[in-house]
Amino acid sequence: MASINVTIDGKQVSVNSGATLLDAARAAGVDIPTLCYDERTEIYGSCGLCVVEVEGNPKLVKACSTVAADGNVVHTDTARVIESRKTMLELLLSNHVGDCRPPCVQACPAHTDCQGYVGLMALGKTREALELIKEKIPLPASIGRVCPHPCEQECRRGLVEEPVAIAYIKRFCGDWALGLQPGADAGGRQDAAPTNGIAADNECRGGLQPPADSGKSVGIVGAGPYGLSLAYFLRRMGHAVTVYEAMPHAGGMLRYGIPEYRLPKAVVDAEAAGIEAMGVTFRYGTKVGAPEAGGGTVTLDELRGAHDAVCLGIGAWVSTGTGADGEDLPGVVGGIDFLREVVQADGIPDFRGKNVAVVGGGNTAMDACRTAVRLGAENVYNIYRRTKAEMPADLIEIEEAEEEGVVFKNLTNPIRYEAGADGRVCRAVLQVMELGEPDASGRRSPVPVEGKTETIDVDTVILAVGQAVDAAGIAADLELTRKGGVAYDSATFRTSLPGVFCGGDCGNDKISIAVEAIADAKHSSGVIDAFLRGEDAPYRAPYIVERTDVTERTFEDRERECRPPMGVLAPDVRKGSFDEVVAGWTEADAAKEGARCLECGCGDFFECRLYRYANEYDVKPERFAGAYSVSPDDAATLNPSDDGHPFIVREEGKCILCGLCVRVCEEVCGVSALGLVGRGFDTAVKPEMEKPLAESGCVACGQCVAACPTGALQERLPLAKSVPLETEKREAVCEFCGAGCRLVIEECAGLFVKANPARTEDGRLGPICVLGKFGYGTGGAESAGGRLVLRSVAGMPPLHGGGGADPLAAVKAKAASLGSVSFEDAFRTIGEAYRAQGV
Amino acid sequence: MRIVVGEGSCGVASGAKKTEAALAALLAERGGAAGDGSYSGITLEKAGCVGNCYLEPVVDVYGDDGGLAARYVRATEERAADILAGTADDLLISDEDAAFLSQQRRIVLRNAGLINPEKIEEYIAAGGYEALRKALTQMTPEEVIEEVKVAGLRGRGGAGFPTWFKWDAARNADAGGGAKYMVCNADEGDPGAFMDRSVLEGDPHAVLEGMAIGGYAIGAHEGVIYVRAEYPLAITRLEIAIAQAEEKGVLGKDIFGTGYDFSIRIKAGAGAFVCGEETALIASLEGERGMPRLKPPFPAQKGFWKQPTNINNVETFANVPFVIREGGAAFAAYGTEKSKGTKVFALAGKIAKGGLVEVPMGLPLRDVIFGIGGGIKAGRAFKAVQMGGPSGGCIPAALADTPVDYESITQTGAIVGSGGMIVMDEDTCMVDMARYFLDFTRKESCGKCNYCRVGTKRMLEILERITLGEGRDGDIELLEELAGKIKDGSLCGLGQTAPNPVLTTIRYFRNEYEDHIYNKHCTAHYCKALVTYAITDACVGCTKCARNCPTGAISGEVKKPHGIDQAKCVKCGKCEENCAFGAVLRD
């Protein structure tokens, strides 16, 4: 065949005449996105994603269908091409109904794969659950204890009865890694789990191995959640990391701002030790700053000289007040200062017989209240200007404080503090408040009740109303925010000083929860890694399609099932002790809890091409927001188009009408179980005669599922908890009959997840049938040594699940409802296979 | 004497069948009925539509010399007796209306309204099938194609592609030992267009003859007419015509003894607009869902059943007998340098004389609308004309001198298309007009190309919000952006042209868009959400408006000016309709 020469993006390539531009691009190694192209079917040309420009042609052409001509000069990356592809994707996404990721993942600032690890936990895969957490959260035992878990706030299980206890599960995994046992189940763990954090991380994916030394070094200022996490991520990337910490121990606010009864120091130490064991150097008692401006022991310039990059994560360690008169009196202290002193002085001061007032409604205020209780205070008052309902603290903290005897003086606000004869504070005068009109944030703002005040006797006042950053001393030339935080670019994490990055509480005036700082660490680690390689890779939050239509009604049919009980120290016991209040779960409890997950996120997230392209092209579909062809308003069930097929789940809201399923079913499989229905915007793919798919001629080969570029057609996974998981793929030869089809087997955590046809030598997807596609997940076979084998074959362990001699019993049972599936041929060939093996 | 009742769909809808029945009954009373429509000395016939749809039912009376003696218009059944009695002079067509026809040059419509479409003899008497005889007996297929080339005939379905070129390609295509097909596209789907229907109803043999000539030219022996099922009368008359033609031997085996075989069958389409696109039409013919596919391969290479196939529109075929009989040069004598011959237009909308007109290409738009069409109804001002249906565009009054030929019309942003002309007056809101046409195309999109399927829907939503007074800054630009990308990214003509009405209205009436978006005001006082009604000082207090207001929004004392409670007003316009003093102001 004659060959022709084509230039694509400057690359010369020679192809056979008759080849399309898409063929030529592939030969040249140039990636052209497509959503509707499949080598096995006739060219369709509907998606319009493969458009390119050909010099001399004023129009954009579709690469999939344009035959290359000798001398063609093709451009695949011009502004016009990119614009057209981007708009096309935006239009598709404007009509895409689904949750790419579940609400829990979206709610987590670090986008931790909550659904993934909850699911793995439910499947009894603790190690893999832990590994998944550590992709985003290097301190799971600590964060699992203290995180206010925005994930649970959004968890849709809350629409049924209560959210999945995502944080408790995380804590379990973190404890498991550290070898910490919940009291109730000291010997519960059977397998050879590591007994300390170092070992756990060694064995975890991405733990100690590989880090091939990058030859670059990073200095991190501050060993709080940001600094520790950043050290973990950068070390995993192979960089040398030194953490400079002003305090004598690691942990930052996790250690010095959160009381022992909530987060034992030993847990923080163990997690920090795991990071140290990865090869991270810690320099404690080292404060960064000019010596004259606050006694720094090392200057920023020195660090910049010593490292290729420096990251600031000094936190927000300054307590602020409400501005009431007398805040400067002896006996009036800052909340975080108080908590820190208690940690440093090991339980001192002694509050026995004293009256302590804590001002503020957040978790720090609750920590201060409950610490004061434990220090023996006679009376602990919490002063907060709104009602309990408006308190930002976690509900459980408020409840437990109340159980411990804290007196809540809600709707009061300190006007002034008065000194006694000794000059120390002795009284607090409080303005009585009431709730007025809702403000811009929707919260009803408190307004003073004219002339109504209340006075309480106090020995100590703890102001837990806010924090601020003290960054002034770091370096004179470092640009700060108006409020004194470090100023940095939120996408590149770069400060005003070259090579100096920032994240966590200390920057951009966004003092927040620990997991937010960890999210900064995750996001900035990528940016810094790129910087060290001389590249620029600003962080961009991924574009995600989310549903907003889910309500209680959606889950009306779910059986109610509450969390397993959690062991908690009784109020009288814990009042007098700093022992940890929450006991933690056993593995069985955590697994049981994981099973409550409603499986919200899209099962095809990890293979969705629409998602991949959407993010490659930085889409903004909001500009085309409009009606949906499959209305999401009727959320009576999460997926109304699931028509009960035993192996295949249809989800019309995610269909992009590429027609691949219809065409593959007709042209490749010769079945035509699916077809296009309707016209215009309302066009849809439906099973024949618009009946359920199981009542069509569907032979359950799953080729449509394999061809679908989105989650509109998915396998019903053979997992007890069907959550989207990143899988490992390997090729195998199907053993069900003598045809020897090559399969790609996808596994996760040693579990069979799915099988797909392998590509043949010419790049096409090969054949597959119901047995190869769905037979392996039903107990018919198990993977062993890189090959799939039937377990009832001689010499193999006996079949599990189905039992008996028929390895197909399970898949047969599932396929019983399908009229069109015939096992005749398969049985015969399997019989032959058995005979050949002497069974 | 011969009495002919116009029975196209338009005539039938206006009561022509009743008129015919009344005439038949009266004639039968006189006696002498022969059972075949002839009575003592008088024959009662039916014909297709002559074109004056606005005057239906039309009854023509021919004298014994065969010449037209009288043409009665709006000849309802009640007046049948008067017509026979010769006392219906008030129904005689006016000179002005007669000019509607006399100003035309009719090639395609040469027989429409004149012959009985259900009698092949009348077609043959009018010179029918002579062209086919000439082609088969005196010309080679190449000579036929050459004659069509000389004629400069271009496809009348919309794209205006040279007919000879397509025939030539199909002739030269390798059928691999299999068949070639000649397909007639009678899937006329543009709203307001009825040229093809009228030809099929009034002169079906012209199409059959054109197809047979074309079939001979390309080497096909089978023809298929893809006609929409919504044209039952056309289908019936085609069936009759095919049967009669076969009986006469002008279709079927060994036509005129030349050994050439050509048969035609009818395929009724289910009425999808997109099936007018030739690859979608082929899919539909094959029993598949009507969806366009990529070209190449073109139908001339791989069409119906993957065999070489030529597809032409009804009107194109109807021109062919004239071209062959009179010669290509006679046809090319009409029209402009690049657009030869005549073109049939369907005049509709706010035009005074709606109907079918056939004029030489190149006639200024003004002559068609004002000269033949009689201008705008009710003396309103001419604002614009939508040409080419939903795929076309609007041409503003300022461009009324544009010659009607392919190139000139395309320059304005519209297209000649299949010949639909929807005329708009000053009360037409151009944004709403664009919305209307886009609503049509987006419903008719086959759903294949994402840009067309989702893009047109999003454009429609933007237009809808503009007409509701919820337009946003940037909407015009967003429409323009989407329009460009939909045109770029769609496979077939439907998607590639769907944005045209929007683009042309933005081009010529951008101020109206801006008025809606920024002033929340409909320039034409049409968009309900943006209109307010008020009563002016001209009110005499007759109370009629108040009595007719369905929501009780109008109040006032008798003989004193009334007022409208805007909170209650639902903008139904009843007050304006009922006010005899012009005191209701719509703004």
Q: Chain A within 8 Å of B284 (Cβ-Cβ)?
A: no
Q: Which residues of B touch A627 (CB under 8 A)?
A: 457, 461
H-helix or E-strand spanning residue B534 = strand B533-535
8 Å CB contact between A772 and A752: no
Residues A46, B448: C-beta atoms closer than 8 Å: yes
Contact between B488 and A94 using a beta-carbon 8 Å cutoff: no
Distance CA A822, CA A827 (A): 9
User: What's the rounded mean pLDDT across residues B285-302?
Assistant: 92
The Cα A477–Cα A300 span in angstroms is 10
If you count them, how many residues does chain A have? Answer: 839
Are A94 and B451 spatial neighbours (Cβ–Cβ below 8 Å)? no
**Residue B556 falls inside a structural domain:** yes
Q: What is the pLDDT of residues B548-577, one digit of tens each?
A: 999 999 999 999 889 999 999 999 999 999
Do B508 and B536 lie in one domain? The reply is: no
**Residues in chain A within 8 Å Cβ distance of B445:** 679-681, 683
Among candidate residues B377, B402, B425, the one where a domain is terminated: B425
**A675 touching B (Cβ < 8 Å):** yes
From chain A, the residues in CB contact with B458 under 8 A are 91, 94, 624, 626
B449 touches chain A (CB under 8 A): yes
> Is B309 within the bounds of a domain?
yes
Query: Of B449, B456, B485, which has the smallest distance from its Cβ to A46's Cβ?
Result: B449
CATH of A350-464, one of 3.40.1080.10, 3.50.50.60, 3.40.50.150, 3.20.20.70: 3.50.50.60
Cα separation, A750 vs A832, in Å, equals: 30
A667–chain B Cβ distance below 8 A for any pair: no
Residue in A with minimal Cα distance to B293: A44
Among A176-190, A433-447, B91-105, B528-542, the least confident range: A176-190
Superfamily of domain A217-317+469-532: FAD/NAD(P)-binding domain (3.50.50.60)
End position of a domain, from candidates B493, B518, B543 = B518
Q: What is the DSSP letter of A350?
A: P
B-chain CB neighbours of A678 within 8 Å are: 447
Q: Pick from A167, A114, A228: which is nearest to A598 by CA?
A: A114
Confidence class for position B453, pLDDT limits 50, 70, 90: very high
| Percent of chain A residues past pLDDT 70, beyond the cut | 88
Q: Which residues pair with A789 in a beta bridge?
A: A782
A597 has a chain B CB within 8 A of its CB: no
Q: Does B454 touch chain A (CB under 8 A)?
A: yes
Whether residues B463 and B418 fall in one domain = no
Assess whether B144 and B242 both reside in one domain: yes
Between B426 and A442, name the one with better pLDDT.
B426
For residue A88, give every residue at least 6 positions away whose Cβ sits within 8 Å of its Cβ, in sequence order, or none. Answer: A47, A48, A49, B450, B451, B485, B489
Cα A715 from Cα A770, distance rounded (Å): 11
CA A161 from centroid of its chain's CA atoms = 23
In this structure, the answer to whether residues B260 and B304 fall within a common structural domain is yes
Same structural domain, B568 and B443: no
CA–CA distance, A268 with A273 (Å, rounded to integer): 8
Q: Which pLDDT score, from 0 to 100, does residue A631 have?
A: 73
Domain boundary among B496, B518, B540: B518
Is B359 in the same domain as B439?
A: no
Give contacts of B294 with chain A, Cβ < 8 Å: 43-45, 62, 65
Chain A: give the shortest CA distance to residue B485, in Å. Answer: 7
Query: Are residues B92 and B176 part of one domain?
Result: no
Inside any domain, residue B128 = yes
Per-residue pLDDT tens over the stretch A606-665: 999 999 999 999 999 999 999 999 876 666 788 888 888 989 999 999 999 999 999 999
In this structure, are B277 and B176 located in the same domain? Answer: yes
Element (H, E) at B202: helix B195-202
> Rounded to 5 degrees, what are φ and ψ at A720?
-65, -30
Q: At residue B103, does pLDDT exceed 90?
A: no
Distance from CA of A60 to the nearest CA of B (A): 7
Does A387 contact B at CB distance below 8 Å? Answer: no
Mutate to test the interface with B, among A87, A629, A660 (most CBs of B within 10 A): A87
B113 domain residue, yes or no = no
Which pLDDT value is given to residue A790?
42
Which residue in chain B has the smallest CA separation from A86?
A: B485
Q: Exposed/middle/buried for A798, CB within 10 Å: 0-12, 13-18, 19+?
A: exposed
Question: What's the pLDDT score for residue A825?
Answer: 44
Same domain (yes/no): B372, B404:
yes
Do residues A272 and A228 lie in contact, with contact meaning Cβ atoms separated by under 8 Å?
yes
Closest residue by Cα to residue B44 from A186, B30, B53: B30
CATH architecture for segment(s) A3-77: Roll (3.10)
With an 8 Å Cβ cutoff, is B450 touching chain A?
yes
Asked whether this chain's domains A3-77 and A350-464 adopt the same fold, the reply is no
Q: Scanning every residue of chain A, which has its alpha carbon at the shortest distance from the alpha carbon of B485? A: A84
**Cα B368 to Cα B359: distance, rounded to the nearest angstrom:** 8
DSSP-derived 3-state class of residue B345:
strand
How many whole angstroms separate alpha carbon B45 and alpha carbon B61? 10
Would you call B491 an interface residue with chain A, using a CB distance cutoff of 8 Å?
A: yes
Which of A623, A675, A680 lies nearest to residue B453, judging by beta carbons?
Answer: A680
Asked whether the predicted pLDDT for residue A387 surpasses 70, the reply is: yes
pLDDT in tens, A103-118: 999 999 999 999 999 9
| Inter-chain contacts counted by CB atoms under 8 A, chains A and B | 96
Determine the distance in angstroms separating the CA of A33 from the nearest CA of chain B, rounded to an integer. Answer: 15
A574: three-class secondary structure by DSSP: helix
Residue B154 placed within a domain: yes
**B445 and A681: CB-CB below 8 Å?**
yes
Question: Please, are residues B369 and B421 in contact by the beta-carbon 8 Å criterion?
Answer: yes
What's the CATH fold of domain A103-205+565-594?
Fumarate Reductase Iron-sulfur Protein; Chain B, domain 2 (1.10.1060)
Is A7 an interface residue toward B (CB < 8 Å)?
A: no
Sign of CA pseudo-dihedral A205, A211, A216, A217: positive
**What pLDDT score does B546 carry?**
92
What tokens does B572 get?
A: 């139904």
Report yes or no: B546 at the A interface, CB cutoff 8 Å: no
Domain holding B453: CATH number? 1.20.1440.230
CA A357 to chain centre: 39
- How high is the pLDDT of residue A823? 55
The one-character DSSP state at A20 is: B
Domain range list for chain A: 3-77, 103-205+565-594, 217-317+469-532, 350-464, 719-839
Nearest CA in chain B to A622: B458
Interface check for B270 against chain A (CB to CB < 8 A): the answer is no
First to last CA, chain A: 50
What domain count does chain B have? 5
In the structure, what pLDDT confidence band is assigned to residue A205 with cuts at 50, 70 and 90? very low
Q: Which of B450, B464, B472, B477 to mutate to test the interface with A (most CBs of A within 10 A)?
A: B450
Query: In 10 A of CB A758, how many CB atoms?
Result: 19
Distance CA B279, CA B256 (A): 33
As a whole-number percent, the residues of chain A with pLDDT over 90 amount to 71
Residues whose CB is less than 8 angstroms from the CB of residue B543 and which lie 6 or more positions away in sequence, other chains included: B556, B558, B562
CB contact under 8 A, A95 and B454: yes
Q: Are residues B351 and B414 in the same domain?
A: yes
A672 contact B CB<8A: no
Question: How confident is the model at residue B51, as a pLDDT?
Answer: 83
Question: Is B445 within 8 Å of chain A by CB?
Answer: yes
Structure-block tokens of residue A517: 């700082």
A804, pLDDT greater than 70: no
Do the Cβ atoms of A112 and A137 come closer than 8 Å? yes
Distance CA A382, CA A373 (A): 12
Query: Are residues B143 and B219 both part of a single domain?
Result: yes
The ipTM value here is 0.90
Residue B523 lies in a domain: no
Q: Quote the minimal CA–CA distance from B34 to chain A in Å.
A: 52
> Which positions in chain B touch A79 (Cβ < 8 Å)?
none
| Domain of residue B53, CATH code | 3.40.30.10
Mean pLDDT of B281-305: 93
Asked if A678 reaches chain B (Cβ–Cβ under 8 Å), the answer is: yes
The token pair at B128 is: 């029918």
Half-sphere exposure of B105 (CA within 13 A, CB side): 16
Q: What are phi and psi of A685, to 5 degrees?
A: -90, 125
Residues A681-716 pLDDT 10s: 999 999 999 999 999 988 888 999 999 999 999 999
Domain encompassing residue B414: 342-425
Of B289, B458, B489, the CB nearest to A626: B458
Q: Which of A501, A503, A515, A504 is nearest to A136 (CA)?
A: A515
Residue B88 lies inside a defined structural domain of this protein: yes
For residue B60, give the H/E element and its range.
Answer: strand B59-62
**B56 assigned to some structural domain:** yes
Q: Give pTM, 2 decimals.
A: 0.90
Residues 311-370 of B with CB under 8 A from A: none
Type and span of the H or E element at A692: none
- Say yes or no to pLDDT of B25 above 70: yes
Find the CB nearest B457 among A43, A626, A656: A626
The beta-carbon neighbor of A681 closest among B293, B453, B482 is B453
Q: Please, which residues bridge with residue A790 across strands?
A: A781
Contact B442 A62 (CB under 8 A): no
> With an 8 Å Cβ cutoff, are B444 and A679 in contact?
yes
Assign residue B580 the CATH number of its domain.
3.30.70.20
Task: Flag the least confident range among A572-576, A780-784, B397-401.
Answer: A780-784
CB atoms within 10 A of CB A39: 13
One domain for residues B437 and B421: no
